[in-house]
Structure formats: structure tokens, C-alpha cells
């Protein structure tokens, strides 16, 4: 097979696109894990929920309100979906996760797994598994941009840019602001931070809300690219778990870099050996486990 | 008392096919063995594997393929399936055993996904359709497992049923022995306090790996048997849904209890059978059961009963 420079670059760009989703999702998982010590299995389902908020807002909200011509536009969805899902996250944390902090952390994983099944089951019941396309892509993001070496869809470029912007903003907040320093301190030693008069339970609630809000944001960004389906999150989340294992959950920047580079690796595999594209990240995980079991950026527990 | 209970259960197992639809009972037994194997790992070693479907389904594919295409007899098929699952368990184990808790769960889940992709893409697995029409074959080349008896007008696959029942009993006995052996006691010690077990000189990683391999092998036995019962190895068997279901069965019945996984498996399989008409609401019900179970009775059915017996004040014994 002839590997032209264009083809490789094109796949790398598409890989970067997938990688941006990996980055934003694994970052959300890492932020939640840092403070709650829970791996949020519902992350994929909440990502799906975010996409559905955008889809239903566009297709169903108008008729529901008696205004058939009303469509919740994309920009509103970018704001509303994370808020709705974040609020749901706050409810989940306050009513359920909160009761599990004293028992083995694995129960948190099991609880969120149950929640993921519930969400997925409910949506599968009302919507087709094969997916519905989202038509609310704004005019300005249609078409393609000439990147010299290729024509690249504008929307994909936008989705890379906005995902990275959210990732770096999160990094900035956590690593460079006072609020972030509370968060990091809470990760290290919650009881000490509480002793300094900081409301740790509130911080935990908001962190969970924020983390799942990020997943919903990614869902909205993904909606115009992939078709919106009840199972869109469930396979993605397993890949994201592998990404998290490879990167380790010790550092924010680590999560971002791992996500992006693994996405690009996946893109590259599509050129070199397409059948392995779905599994290359898992094989990478096996390799990392053999060489550096705690993950590339992980700290040994 | 205990001996009486076992004898009663054994007799119930012998009589079951005459009372309940045999294929359903066989399905119960397969999943019960699967859950018991899983319980050896989570209940007695404290390791949560989220990839046990890989062993269950992987063995189903191996057995199904060999019985169908290489003409293996069913008992050899099950043995080879078990060994294949054990080998997979060894490979998974080497990769995962050094990590604990949440990481262990994520890694096993991701590795199982590799097996899922292989089952989906490999040329010999039948892709989306799975491996169909697996013959039941002749046990030891003598007894036709596909034979149907007619008792009181009902067709009963008794040969197959007792084949499955014997496999279940052997598997259950192995797990029971493992739990009540010194090996099982050390596993419990590791679960309770790993650093202490290390300081006592136990090679913790090796013991955990051994527990993992035993658990994987027996999960394989269950999957291999299942492929003969349903004459089918499908993608569902290797999917993460199945991994999740076995966690639920064990949790619902009671982690770390001998009979818990059996009770849990019966409950979940019966629930699925009852609700099968409602499509994807089954997933919702399973999810709700998970949430309720985690929030309000983490000991599970059997665990709660045992706790009641244990905490009953003296003098009230009847």
C-alpha cells in the first residue's frame, strides 16, 4: 500500500479529533477520581445524555412547547446540556454516591454502572439504537477549511479547538487558581482541608457535577459528527478507561496528552492496518502495563 | 444440619428437570457456576474483575468451535474450553495482578473488550451471528446428549441435563474445597489485610494469580457448558453486559458466601426470563437492582440471612 503524506496527515487530524474526545472524557474521570476516589462508570451514559439534550432540544422541544418552529440551537445546547447533566450529577452525588464514601470504593463503581444501565436502557426503549443524526449544526461551522495539505471539515476543526480549550481551561483552573488549589489539597487530604474551614462536601458535590458536565459538553460537541444513539457512550467509555489506565490518573496534563496522542495513534493505525484501529489502544494498554504498570503519568498508590 | 441442607439441594437438583423446563434449569446452573467462580475472586480475594465475560464467552467460542468443526466429544470440549479460559486467565492475571481496586476493574474490562473485538472480527467466530448449531454430541462417545425422553407427554433432555448437573456439582465442589482449604484462608487474609499477609511471608501476587486462574477456568467451564446447552456461542457471552450481570448476581446473592452466587444467579436469570417480553426495560430493571443493592443491602440475600442468624441473641434459638 502506498502511504502518501496526505493520507497520513488526514488520518492524524481525524485521530486528533477522536483524541480530543478521549482527552475531555478522561479528564472528567480524573477530576472526579481525584476527589471522590470513584471511577464514574456512568460517564459514557452522561456523555450520551448530553448529546440527547442537544438532539431533543433541537427536534422535540419546540413541538412540546407548542411552537413547532422553535429549535434550541447548537450554541444554547453547548450551555444547557452541561448544566442539565451537571445538575443531574449533583443529584446523583447528593442522594446516592454520598452514602458510599465510607465503604469500599468499588461500590461507587458498581453504583455508577447501575446508573449507566438505567440511562442506556431508558433511552434504548424510546430511541433507535442505530442512531439519529443531529441537524442543528450551525451555518458558520458547515463546509470545509483548506489546511494546505487537505480540505478539513470546519466542524471537526471547531470540535478539536473547543474540546482542547475546555481541557486547558480546566487545567488552568485546577493548577493555577485558588479554587484549584483547594481542590488539589482536598485530593491529598480532605479532612485537613475541612479543618481549615473549607466546605469539602460541597466541593465534592460540585466536582462531580462539573466532571459529568464536561462529559455532557463532549456529547453535544460529538452530536453533529456521530449519530446520536443510546449506545454511543457505552463502547467509548471502555476505550476511555483504557486511556485512563495508560495515562494514570495522577496528572491533569497527563490525561490531556495521553488522550490526544492515543487518538492520533488510532488514526495512524487506520492508515497502516485498519482492522486493528479499534483495538490498538487496548494493546497499547497491555504494553504500558508490562513496562510501567502505574501508567505513564501515574503515581504509585 | 449443613449436611442435610446439601443433601436436600442435591436431591432438588436431581428432581428439577421433572418440575421445571430443563433448558431453563440448565441455564440457571451454568450462570450459577459462573457466579460462583466469580465469587471466588471478589468474595474471597477482594478483586473485582469487570472482564469475566471474556472467560465465559471465550470458552463458549472455543468449545463451540471445536465440538462443531473438530468433532470433539462434549466432555473433551468442556475440558478444552476450561483450559483455554484458564490460559486466558493466566495472561490477564499477569497483566492485572499488580494493580488493585478500581484499576484492576478497569484493566480487566479493557482486556475483555479485546476478546470481544476478536469474537466480532475473527474469521472463525461467525461475527454478529455468533457460532450457531453447535452439536451436543455423544458423551464419551456413548451417550447421546441430544436425546429427548418423553415423560408424561413432556419432552425432557435428561441426558444433557444430568451432564450439566454433574459439571455444576464438580465445579461447585472445587470452589467449595478451594474456599475451605488453607489456600482459601490465605486468600481471605489477603483480602482483609494485604500488607500483613505479605509480612507473614506469603507470596501474595502468586496466590492472587492462582485464584484468578481458577476463577477464570471455572467461568470458562460454565461458558463451555452453556454453549452446548444453547448450541450457541454469541457476542452477548463476551460482552461487558455479561461481565456486569455476573457482578450483579454475586452481589445480589451475597459476596463471599458459598450459596449466595447461586441464589443471585437464579434471581437474575429468572428476572430476565420473566421480563424478556419488555425489551430494553430489562436493562433498566437490572440497573435499578444494582443501585438498590449497592445502596441498601450490600450483604446480599444470603449475607443478610447469615447476619440475622449470627446476631440472634442467645436463648432465642428454637
The strand pairing partners of A146, in sequence order, are: A151
- B272 shares contact with chain A (CB less than 8 Å): no
DSSP 8-class letter at B138: E
Could you tell me what percentage of chain B is helix, strand and coil, using 3-state DSSP and rounding each to the nearest 5? 75, 5, 20
Instruction: Report pLDDT for A4.
Output: 78
Q: If you write DSSP's letter for every residue of chain A in order, what string do you get?
A: ----HHHHHHHHHHHHHHHHHHHHHHHHHHHHHHHH----TTHHHHHHHHHHHHHHHHHTHHHHTT-TT----HHHHHHHHHHHHHHHHHHHHHHTGGGGTTS-THHHHHHHHHHHHHHHHHHHHHS-TT-B------GGG-SEEE-SS-EEEHHHHHHHHHHHHHHHHHHHHHHHSHHHHHHHHHHH-HHHHHHTT--HHHHHHHHHHHHHHHHHHHHHHHTTTSPB-TTHHHHHHHHHHHHHHHH-SS-HHHHHHHHHHHHHHHHHHHHH-GGGTTTHHHHHHHHHHHH-TT-SS----
Is A282 in contact with B247 (Cβ distance < 8 A)? no
- A128 shares contact with chain B (CB less than 8 Å): no
User: Mutation test of the interface with chain A: which of B107, B294, B300, B303, choosing the one with the most A Cβ atoms within 10 A?
Assistant: B294
- A130 shares contact with chain B (CB less than 8 Å): no
Please enumerate, as own/partner, the contacts of A165-168 that have beta carbons within 8 Å and a separation of 24 or more: A166/A24, A166/A214, A166/A217, A167/A20, A167/A23, A167/A24, A167/A27, A167/A256, A168/A256
Domain presence at residue B178: yes
Is B100 in contact with A110 (Cβ distance < 8 A)? no
Is A118 in contact with B291 (Cβ distance < 8 A)? yes
Residues in chain A, total: 301
Using CA of residue B111, residue B116, residue B120, residue B126, what is the dihedral sign?
A: positive
Residues 6+ apart with CB under 8 A from B19: none
Residues of chain A with C-beta less than 8 angstroms from the C-beta of B285: 121
Residue B232: strand, helix, or coil: strand
User: Please, which pLDDT band fits residue A7 given cuts at 50, 70 and 90?
Assistant: confident
Residues 6+ apart with CB under 8 A from A14: A156, A267, A270
Gyration radius of chain A's alpha carbons? 19
Q: Which structural domain, as residue segments, surrounds residue B75? A: 2-238
Residue B201: strand, helix, or coil: coil
Residues 6+ apart with CB under 8 A from A241: A39, B106, B109, B110
- Here the cell at position B91 is 495472561
Domain presence at residue B285: no
The answer to whether A21 and A222 are in contact (CB under 8 A) is: yes
Is A111 in contact with B290 (Cβ distance < 8 A)? yes
**B109 CA: distance to closest CA in chain A (Å):** 7
Residue B144: strand, helix, or coil: strand
With CA atoms as reference, the chain A residue closest to B115 would be: A279
Angstrom distance (rounded) from CA B186 to CA A242: 31
> Which helix H or strand E contains B233, and what residues bound it?
strand B232-233
* pLDDT greater than 90 at residue A80: yes
What residue has cell string 495482578? Answer: B97
Angstrom distance (rounded) from CA B19 to CA B15: 7
Q: Which of A278, A25, A224 is nearest to B118 (CA)?
A: A278
Instruction: Report pLDDT for A55.
Output: 92
| Per-residue pLDDT tens over the stretch A127-158 | 878 888 888 888 888 888 887 777 888 999 99
The answer to whether B45 and B36 are in contact (CB under 8 A) is: no
Domain presence at residue B316: no
Residues 6+ apart with CB under 8 A from B13: B29, B165, B168, B169
The counts of H helices and E strands in chain B are 14, 6
Q: Collect the ranges in chain B with pLDDT lower than 70.
A: 1, 313-318
- B105 shares contact with chain A (CB less than 8 Å): yes
Lowest-confidence segment of A65-69, A72-76, A157-161, A211-215 by average pLDDT? A65-69
Angstrom distance (rounded) from CA B14 to CA B18: 9
DSSP 8-class letter at B313: P
**B63 CA: distance to closest CA in chain A (Å):** 24
Mean pLDDT of chain A, nearest integer: 89
> Which helix H or strand E contains B318, and what residues bound it?
none
Interface confidence, given as ipTM, is 0.88
Residues of chain A with C-beta less than 8 angstroms from the C-beta of B117: 278-279, 282
Q: Where are the domains of chain A?
A: 24-245
Angstrom distance (rounded) from CA A201 to CA A190: 9
Q: How many domains does chain B have?
A: 1
User: Please, which pLDDT band fits residue A3 given cuts at 50, 70 and 90?
Assistant: low
Instruction: Report pLDDT for B316.
Output: 53
Query: How many other CB atoms are there within 10 angstroms of residue B7's CB atom?
Result: 10
| Per-residue pLDDT tens over the stretch A193-238 | 999 999 999 999 999 999 999 999 999 999 999 889 999 998 899 9
Q: Which of A238, A234, A231, A232 is nearest to A282 (CA)?
A: A238
**A126 CA: distance to closest CA in chain B (Å):** 9
Angstrom distance (rounded) from CA B139 to CA B127: 29
The answer to whether B132 and B72 are in contact (CB under 8 A) is: no
With CA atoms as reference, the chain A residue closest to B252 would be: A110
- B297 shares contact with chain A (CB less than 8 Å): no
User: Please, which pLDDT band fits residue A165 given cuts at 50, 70 and 90?
Assistant: very high
Domain presence at residue B149: yes
Residues of chain A with C-beta less than 8 angstroms from the C-beta of B95: 286, 289-290
Amino acid at each position: 500500500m502506498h502511504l502518501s503524506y496526505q493520507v497520513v496527515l488526514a488520518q492524524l487530524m481525524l485521530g486528533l479529533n477522536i483524541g480530543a474526545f478521549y482527552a475531555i472524557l478522561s479528564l472528567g474521570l480524573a477530576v472526579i477520581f481525584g476527589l471522590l476516589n470513584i471511577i464514574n462508570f456512568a460517564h459514557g451514559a452522561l456523555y450520551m445524555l448530553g448529546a440527547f439534550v442537544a438532539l431533543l432540544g433541537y427536534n422535540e422541544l419546540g413541538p412540546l412547547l407548542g411552537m413547532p418552529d422553535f429549535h434550541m440551537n447548537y450554541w444554547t445546547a453547548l450551555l444547557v446540556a452541561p448544566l442539565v447533566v451537571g445538575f443531574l450529577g449533583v443529584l446523583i452525588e447528593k442522594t446516592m454516591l454520598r452514602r458510599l464514601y465510607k465503604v469500599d470504593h468499588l461500590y461507587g463503581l458498581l453504583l455508577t454502572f447501575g446508573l449507566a444501565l438505567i440511562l442506556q436502557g431508558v433511552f434504548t426503549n424510546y430511541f433507535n439504537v442505530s442512531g439519529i443524526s443531529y441537524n442543528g449544526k450551525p451555518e458558520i461551522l458547515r463546509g470545509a477549511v483548506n489546511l494546505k495539505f487537505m480540505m478539513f471539515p470546519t466542524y471537526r476543526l471547531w470540535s478539536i479547538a473547543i474540546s482542547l480549550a475546555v481541557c486547558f481551561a480546566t487545567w488552568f483552573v485546577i493548577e493555577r487558581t485558588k479554587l484549584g488549589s483547594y481542590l488539589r489539597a482536598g485530593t491529598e487530604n480532605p479532612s485537613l482541608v475541612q479543618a481549615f474551614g473549607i466546605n469539602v462536601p460541597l466541593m465534592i458535590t460540585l466536582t462531580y457535577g462539573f466532571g459529568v458536565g464536561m462529559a455532557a459538553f463532549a456529547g453535544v460537541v460529538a452530536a453533529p459528527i456521530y449519530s446520536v444513539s443510546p449506545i454511543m457512550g457505552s463502547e467509548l467509555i471502555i476505550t476511555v478507561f483504557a486511556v485512563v489506565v495508560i495515562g494514570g490518573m495522577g496528572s491533569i496534563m497527563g490525561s490531556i496528552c495521553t488522550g490526544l496522542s492515543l487518538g492520533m495513534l488510532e488514526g495512524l493505525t487506520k492508515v497502516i492496518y485498519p482492522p486493528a484501529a479499534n483495538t490498538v489502544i487496548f494493546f497499547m494498554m497491555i504494553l504500558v502495563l508490562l513496562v510501567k504498570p502505574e501508567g505513564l503519568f501515574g503515581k504509585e498508590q | 444440619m449443613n449436611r442435610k441442607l446439601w443433601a436436600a439441594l442435591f436431591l432438588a437438583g436431581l428432581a428439577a428437570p421433572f418440575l421445571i423446563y430443563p433448558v431453563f434449569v440448565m441455564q440457571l446452573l451454568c450462570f450459577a457456576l459462573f457466579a460462583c467462580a466469580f465469587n471466588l475472586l471478589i468474595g474471597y480475594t477482594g478483586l473485582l474483575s469487570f472482564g469475566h465475560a471474556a472467560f465465559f464467552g471465550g470458552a463458549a467460542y472455543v468449545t463451540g468451535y471445536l465440538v462443531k468443526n473438530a468433532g470433539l466429544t462434549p466432555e473433551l470440549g468442556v475440558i478444552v474450553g476450561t483450559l483455554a479460559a484458564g490460559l486466558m486467565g493466566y495472561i490477564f492475571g499477569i497483566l492485572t495482578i499488580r494493580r488493585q481496586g478500581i484499576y484492576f476493574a478497569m484493566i480487566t474490562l479493557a482486556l475483555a473488550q479485546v476478546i470481544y473485538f476478536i469474537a466480532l472480527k475473527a474469521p472463525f467466530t461467525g461475527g454478529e451471528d455468533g457460532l450457531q448449531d453447535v452439536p451436543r454430541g455423544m458423551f464419551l462417545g456413548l451417550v447421546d446428549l441430544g436425546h429427548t425422553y418423553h415423560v408424561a407427554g413432556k419432552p425432557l433432555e435428561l441426558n444433557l441435563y444430568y451432564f450439566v448437573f454433574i459439571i455444576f456439582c464438580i465445579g461447585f465442589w472445587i470452589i467449595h474445597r478451594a474456599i475451605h482449604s488453607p489456600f482459601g484462608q490465605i486468600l481471605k487474609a489477603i483480602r482483609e489485610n494485604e500488607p500483613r499477609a505479605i509480612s507473614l511471608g506469603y507470596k501474595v501476587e502468586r496466590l492472587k494469580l492462582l485464584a484468578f486462574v481458577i476463577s477464570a477456568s471455572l467461568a470458562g467451564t460454565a461458558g463451555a457448558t452453556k454453549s452446548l446447552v444453547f448450541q450457541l456461542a454469541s457476542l452477548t457471552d463476551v460482552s461487558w453486559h455479561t461481565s456486569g450481570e455476573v457482578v450483579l448476581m454475586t452481589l445480589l446473592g451475597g459476596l463471599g458466601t458459598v450459596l449466595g452466587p447461586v441464589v443471585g444467579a437464579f434471581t437474575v436469570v429468572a428476572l430476565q426470563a420473566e421480563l424478556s417480553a419488555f425489551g430494553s426495560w430489562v436493562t433498566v430493571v437490572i440497573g435499578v437492582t444494582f443501585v438498590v443493592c449497592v445502596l441498601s443491602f450490600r450483604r446480599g440475600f444470603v449475607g443478610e440471612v447469615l447476619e440475622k442468624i449470627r446476631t440472634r441473641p442467645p436463648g432465642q434459638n428454637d
